[in-house]
Chains A and B, each alone.
Chain A
């Protein structure tokens, strides 16, 4: 899947750039090619991608590299920061400060999830102590009114409806009167799905808006929408001046680039995400999490941060020196393992790596194996740790007994160690500075 390839490519580029002190135009270019692909694969509108790339490139070129980061890591950080900023730096809430009842209109294309989102939003507000009224203004799709009534029943929220022969604008007006009578402080209007090019139905929405003076007009956008999300959102926003977006079906495996497109073309925040078919599956939208998802980099940044915190730079440098002199010993192996533990264990680190989460077998990253390895090395004498070549059969047997493991276990550890040593030798040419920052002993 494209997912892995991006992070792989990025990691490769990160490695290549290690040791530079300044981010050059060439670095940025090669990075941006991958980022562009990733964004397009995530369905971000191609024009939005163009602007984004131009913007980030400008910011990145010529940047002095922060001491603790490699240039590659730094570019990733800039990209992530920009993406988060574009999506909205922090979550935004509903503005329900008008004299009650505050009206919220939900609108969007057919099948985007408006009715479900209406119910979820009502429950969300009810939990906050509000007393919402749901209004059935989708008279077009068969049984949409019934659907809203069923949902209202499930969550214990009243539904105002006049069947399917009435006029949606009138229903909305009457619902307001009903809300005053019923002491509802919030009115949520579910509208029929419509194409943004359907003039008649767009006028209907404008009229509902005029008749109800809404506090919020939320556009419901399917998170799996492709390039057209930008056009759709732009037209709805031009016509209605929407106040925010609900991103639906985010529980799918979509990368959800539509979130970025709609935000970029409307400048309106995504306020909620709808993440399942149950009425509880509704969340406040967190832009920073979405940035990670769209780029498909897992939590590379968190990993970078964690690595920075946990790994003692001095020790890392010392290790690097040793490695260069081919003096990497089992002691150092142990040391590196300790650092991994500080970072929360192998599985937690692997879980942060893009493409890895969910991909590897639990057994492959058996933490118990780590514990065993540690015990085995601790059962060796200092001499043995420094020079494993002296480990003959009787020594191995002793170590196995001492550590409560088997000779096979001991053999495996030694083999692992030799492998790592060989790998390190191979990688030596690659980087001069900062060995140990990102490299982990597995």
Chain B
């Protein structure tokens, strides 16, 4: 299956409700008038685009429609699609660079967004492409988080470095780096405990962990993925900002796109904070991780 088909099937439910709404709007408004714009605006709002970004998109849409004297509602729809894509396109699509190794990947984010699951999925991708993968059980806080990652390590058939629950995550990462060097590992993927972005001490801990990795593996490429749950609303912006302050985020993994939520907030995050979406999670299985592509994402929404 091509990327587009996979994403499309992942986005199917999303798309259905999204497009259902757009089509309903277009059906009831053959002509281009204020009501049409207002209804399109509702569609964006209901997809978690947020008010400022919705207004920004609608403003340029109105302008273009006016300038081009568009009278066909279908054309308005195409324009809307272009306007959204424009905001996402600032960042070129790239998923996991499977070849540029050695690399240390750290996943961060708030509680329950899908960090550990994404670690498992990425491990599988690398392993499949013939890389030597090691996982670090950096969530030493949540009950049984280590066991959870151990199961994922088994599923992906990769090694894991862990300590016992309650130990210092930086120390786990230190061990993992040492092991990665000793075992000549290509890819080290570090899970971390979920933390709310407004808890300063926990955010500081992330910075400390990054310092350990930098010190122990200075020559390895570093990736830091912020995991965002597509059901999250406007708070995702706060999350992105706060995590960006303490970590060199190199991309976003947008999870749970197999649900009915649209994850529209990533448009703001992409456009305003310049953090690209790299991967999308479309299920709980080990294969349910896809490379994000802005054009396809919007296309899948509007197809």
Q: Is A109 an interface residue (CB 8 A)?
A: yes
Report the number of A-B residue pairs with Cβ-Cβ less than 8 Å.
140
Kindly state the separation between the CA atoms of A232 and B13 in the bound complex, as whole angstroms. 13
Bound-complex Cα distance A140 to B196 (A):
25
B197 lies within 8 A of A222 (CB): no
The yes or no answer to B48 lying at the interface (CB within 8 A) is yes
Asked if residues B234 and A226 are in contact (CB atoms below 8 Å), the reply is yes
Name the interface residues of B40-54: CB closer than 8 Å to any CB of A. 42, 45-48, 50-51
Contacts of B47 in A (CB 8 A): 227
User: Measured between C-beta atoms, what is the minimum distance from B41 to chain A in Å?
Assistant: 9
Contact A197 B260 (CB under 8 A): yes
Which of B28-36, B82-90, B108-116, B171-179 participates in binding chain A? B108-116
Given A142-B152, A150-B144, A151-B143, residue A277 in contact with residue B259 (CB < 8 A): no
Report how far A154 CA is from B152 CA in the complex, Å. Answer: 25
Q: In whole angstroms, how far apart are the Cα atoms of A229 and B233 in the complex? A: 9
Quick one: which of A46, A113, A147, A226 contacts B232, CB cutoff 8 A? A226
Report yes or no: B235 in contact with A253, Cβ–Cβ below 8 A: yes
Set of chain A residues within 8 Å of B256, measured between Cβ atoms: 109-111, 195
B192 within 8 A of A: no
Measured CA separation A154–B144 after assembly (Å): 12
Q: A41-B50, A252-B235 are in contact. Are A197 and B110 (CB under 8 A)?
A: no
Contact between B233 and A226, CB atoms less than 8 A apart: yes
Asked whether any CB of chain A lies closer than 8 Å to the CB of B191, the reply is: no
Contact B233 A142 (CB under 8 A): no
A residues within 8 A CB of B259?
109, 195-197, 228
Nearest B residue to A254 via CB reads: B235
Q: Which of A149, A150, A227 contacts B45 (CB 8 A)?
A: A227
Most buried by B among A2, A140, A196, A227: A227
Which of B46, B198, B232, B258 contacts A195 (CB under 8 A)? Answer: B258
Residues of B within 8 A of A253 (CB): 196-198, 235, 238
A119: nearest chain-B partner, CB-CB? B143
Q: Which residues of B contact A262 (CB under 8 A)?
A: none
Assess the B144–A252 pair: CB atoms within 8 A. Answer: no
The answer to whether the Cβ of A143 comes within 8 Å of any Cβ in the partner chain is yes
Who on chain B is nearest to A224 by CB?
B235
Contacting residues of chain B (121-166) with chain A, CB-CB under 8 angstroms: 141-145, 147-148, 150-152, 165
Chain B interface main SS type: loop
A249 lies within 8 A of B110 (CB): yes
How far is the CB of A290 from the nearest CB of chain B, in Å?
A: 15
Residues on A with C-beta less than 8 A from B45 are: 40, 46, 227
**Within 8 Å of chain B (Cβ to Cβ): is A231?**
yes
Residues of chain B within 8 A of A140, CB atoms compared: 284
Is B186 located at the chain interface by the 8 A CB criterion? no
Known: A40-B51, A46-B46, A140-B284. A232 touches B260 (CB 8 A): yes
Given contacts A150-B144, A253-B198, A254-B235, contact A111 B229 (CB under 8 A): yes
User: Does B293 belong to the interface (CB within 8 Å)?
Assistant: no
Distance between B119 CB and nearest chain A CB, rounded to angstroms: 11
- Of chain A, the residue at the smallest CB distance from B283 is A195
Contacts of A197 in B (CB 8 A): 13, 259-260
Bound: A42/B51 CA distance, A: 10
**A interface secondary structure, majority:** loop
Residues on B with beta carbons closer than 8 Å to the beta carbon of A277 = 111, 141-142
B91 CB to nearest A CB, Å: 22
Q: Distance in Å from the Cβ of A126 to the closest Cβ of chain B?
A: 17
Query: Does B231 sit at the interface, judged by CB under 8 A?
Result: yes
Contact B147 A113 (CB under 8 A): no
> For the complex, what is the distance from the CA of A141 to the CA of B284, rounded to whole Å?
9
Q: How far is the CA of A257 from the CA of B113 in the complex (A)?
A: 19
Most buried by A among B45, B112, B232: B112
Does A251 have its Cβ within 8 Å of any Cβ on chain B? yes
Given contacts A37-B51, A140-B284, A225-B232, contact A195 B260 (CB under 8 A): yes
A228→B231 contact, CB < 8 A: yes
Contact mask B57-95 → A, CB, 8 Å, 1/0? 000000000000000000000000000000000000000
- In whole angstroms, what is the CA distance A277 to B112 when docked? 12
**Which residues on the B side are within 8 Å of A27 (C-beta)?**
none
Contacts A46-B46, A253-B198 given; indicate if A109 touches B110 (C-beta within 8 A): no
A440 to chain B, nearest CB (A): 29
Q: Nearest Cβ in chain B — how far from A121, in angstroms?
A: 15
Q: When the two chains form the complex, which single residue of A111, A113, A147, A231 contacts B144, counting CB atoms closer than 8 Å?
A: A147
- Interface pair A146/B147, CB less than 8 Å apart: yes
A41 to chain B, nearest CB (A): 6
Give 12 new A-B contacts, CB below 8 A, not counting A110-B112, A113-B112: A45-B46, A113-B111, A150-B143, A150-B165, A222-B229, A225-B233, A227-B233, A228-B48, A228-B261, A231-B260, A252-B110, A258-B233
Q: List 15 A-B contacts (CB under 8 A).
A: A110-B112, A111-B256, A143-B151, A144-B144, A147-B143, A154-B143, A224-B110, A225-B233, A226-B48, A226-B236, A227-B46, A228-B260, A249-B111, A253-B235, A258-B233
Q: Residues of B at under 8 Å CB distance from A?
A: 13, 17, 42, 45-48, 50-51, 110-114, 141-145, 147-148, 150-152, 165, 196-199, 229, 231-236, 238, 256, 258-262, 265, 284
List residues of A whose CB falls within 8 A of some B CB: 2, 37, 40-43, 45-47, 109-113, 140-144, 146-147, 149-151, 154, 195-197, 222, 224-229, 231-232, 249, 251-255, 257-258, 277
Closest 4 CB pairs of A and B: A226-B233, A111-B112, A43-B233, A150-B143
